Amino acid sequence: MSIQGKHIIVTGGGSGVGKATAHKLAKEGAKITILGRTEEQLKEQNLNYKLCDVTDEKDVEKAFNMARIEQGPIWGVIANAGAATSLPFKKFNQEHLQSMLAVNLIGVSNSFHAGLEDMLDKNDGRMIVIASTAGLKGYAYSSAYSAAKHGVIGLVRSLALELANVGITVNAICPGYTETPLLEKAILNIKEKSKISRVEVEKILLKGNPQGRFIQTDEIAETVLWLCSNAARSVNGHTLTISGGEI
Q: Which residues are catalytic?
A: 145
Q: Give CA–CA dist 11/237, Å, rounded.
A: 20
Q: Give CA–CA dist 172/152, Å, rounded.
A: 9
Q: Give CA–CA dist 224/130, Å, rounded.
A: 9
Quick check: 171 and 235 in contact, CB under 8 A?
Answer: yes
Around Cβ 235, how many Cβ atoms within 10 Å? 15
DSSP category for residue 243: S
DSSP category for residue 214: P
- Phi, psi (5° rounding) for residue 2? -100, 155
Helix boundaries (H) for the chain: 16-27, 39-43, 57-71, 94-101, 107-122, 143-163, 181-194, 198-206, 217-228
